[in-house]
Structure 1
């Protein structure tokens, strides 16, 4: 099938690249190093279960949720280029 200038697998290659970029961005935001016993934002105690589940954790749950909400507002997701937005 003729596709013009794009190769036959160009769309899938673009999807794969987007997924790889998303994974790379998510991994770069994971905590690194030793975890803290107290939140670096509000100084509340971080439960041992959370420290075991998330090595390198630096924020308590409420502060982490606030941080995640803020990050969600500034995510680099391109809705115009997503297949879902084209189907609506």
Structure 2
């Protein structure tokens, strides 16, 4: 029975480690520099968007299109 508890504790530890790794990756992505030019349409990213999200790599319209596309693929 003790081995069963150990397995659950190990699974909980692994889950917490994966969650922490995911959080650190998201924080690093947000802290990174964005681009002044949209990767999709190659137009300038709006200054308001860059101020709100300095790590932005796409203009608002292209980001919205990408997110809609991803939602449809689910």
In structure 1, what is the Cα distance between the partners aligned to 2:44 and 2:14? 44
Name the structure where helix makes up a greater proportion of residues. 2
Give TM-score scaled by structure 2 length. Answer: 0.58
Aligned length: 70
CA RMSD of aligned residues (A): 3.3
Considering Cα pairs closer than 8 Å and 6+ residues apart, tell me whether 1 or 2 has the greater RCO.
2
Give TM-score scaled by structure 1 length. Answer: 0.52
Deviation string 1:29-80 (CA, Å, 9 cap, x unpaired) is 43623641x313202332222111111322112322417839x97xxxxxxx
Q: Post-superposition, which runs of at least 4 consecutive aligned residues in structure 1 deviate over 4 A?
A: none
Question: What stretches of structure 1 of length at least 5 have no aligned partner?
Answer: 74-88
